[in-house]
Amino acid sequence: MDKKIGFIGLGNVGSKVANNILKQGYNLHVHDLNKNLSKELISKGAIWCNSIEKLIKNTSVFITCLPSPKSVKKVITETLPFIDKKHLWIEMSTTDEEDMKSLSKKLLEKKAEVIEAPITGGQHRAESGNIAILVGGERDSFNRAFPILSCIGHEILHCGEIGKASTLKVVTNYLASINLLAIGEALMVCKKYDINLKTAFEGIKISSGNSFVHETESQVILNGSYDVGFTMDLVCKDVGLFDKLAKKYKIPAEVSTLMNFIFQRGRKMYGDRALSTSIVKMLEEACKEELRSEGFPSYLEDKEAKKDGKEILI
């Protein structure tokens, strides 16, 4: 069994995922461009590696959780000289399926194993260990990774070969982003009609218009914190990846084109590191109304205890 795990990328989500691996007694080696992000994990027993070379040489499994396809490509290119047949790479970012196939091929040529395992369900579930995981890759590699994935998430779906999970993750993020835009407009109609926004929230929640995004992101919008731990540059990257796929398959995806335009405008207005939910601020400013209501949290928290990881069988 693999006990020495490497983790590269300790951002908002990565640090929480790494912490859940550490809780299960794995020998966790960590690396990030910003060493300060590792301090809490080191205090709990993680081992800092000041280079990717050191991390790869001291582990049999390494995980990447990075902000962009460009950063994934850079890190994997750096790992290649030190990769051998004992290694399993688990890629947990939302990345480009073409890049994922190309990079995985390079590791497979060195007799290493690869799976893609993007996570979905929000920062709060990444923290609790109840997040969902979409997995692409060989079945044997999935089986090898499953004990580690079970530390990270609850519902785990094997989607097929490399590229399938990355694409499905992009699709889910596209749908979540559409929901976010629509929720802002829906709540604004309620506000203008003088429907109490807590009543509106509950009404949507029990209706056919409900969604995961409404149950989560609407709450921090109504609170005014907007705190989902996900930034404008990341949402623009994700909807851009969907648009790339739509163009690749010559799908006349008019909604995708419009959504890209709206989010890019929001990114220009508020900056790369503005929270993705800030897109609703554009509507608030245009309508000269704030979507606020008492009784909603400033941040999301999964109050359920960690559930055992289970494979979703099809």
- Inter-axis angle of helices 254-270 and 164-192, to 10 degrees? 70
User: Span 171-176, mean pLDDT?
Assistant: 98
User: Span 125-145, mean pLDDT?
Assistant: 98
CATH of domain 167-287: 1.10.1040.10
Identify residue 172 by its one-letter amino acid code: T
Q: C-alpha distances in angstroms, 38 versus 9, 15, 58, 60, 71?
A: 10, 8, 17, 20, 18
Instruction: State phi, psi for 33 to the nearest 5 degrees.
Output: -60, -30
> What is the C-alpha to C-alpha distance for residues 89 and 245, in angstroms, rounded to an integer?
25
DSSP conformational letter for 309 = P
> What is the C-alpha to C-alpha distance for residues 21 and 209, in angstroms, rounded to an integer?
36
Q: How confident is the model at residue 140 (pLDDT cuts 50, 70, 90)?
A: very high
**How does pLDDT run across 233-286, given as a tens digit for each residue?**
999 999 999 999 999 999 999 999 999 999 999 999 999 999 999 999 999 999
pLDDT attached to residue 10: 97
User: Span 120-139, mean pLDDT?
Assistant: 97
| Distant-in-sequence, close-in-space partners of 268: CB < 8 Å, separation ≥ 6 | none
Is the pLDDT confidence value at 1 over 90? no
Residue with tokens 């929640």: 205
**Fold observed for domain 4-162+303-311:** Rossmann fold (3.40.50)
> What is the C-alpha to C-alpha distance for residues 166 and 98, in angstroms, rounded to an integer?
9
CB neighbour burial string for 143-159, b if at least 16 within 10 angstroms, e if fewer: ebbbebbbbbbbbbbbb
CA proximity to 169, closest of 264, 109, 95: 95
> What is the C-alpha to C-alpha distance for residues 88 and 70, in angstroms, rounded to an integer?
21
Q: Could you tell me the pTM of the whole model?
A: 0.96
For the chain, the average pLDDT equals 97
Q: How confident is the model at residue 203 (pLDDT cuts 50, 70, 90)?
A: very high
* Beta-sheet pairing, 131-137 with 153-160: parallel
CB-side exposure of 134: number of CA atoms within 13 Å? 22
Is the pLDDT confidence value at 13 over 90? yes
> What is the C-alpha to C-alpha distance for residues 90 and 117, in angstroms, rounded to an integer?
6
| Distant-in-sequence, close-in-space partners of 130: CB < 8 Å, separation ≥ 6 | 121, 153, 154, 302, 304, 306, 307
Sequence ranges of the domains in the chain: 4-162+303-311, 167-287
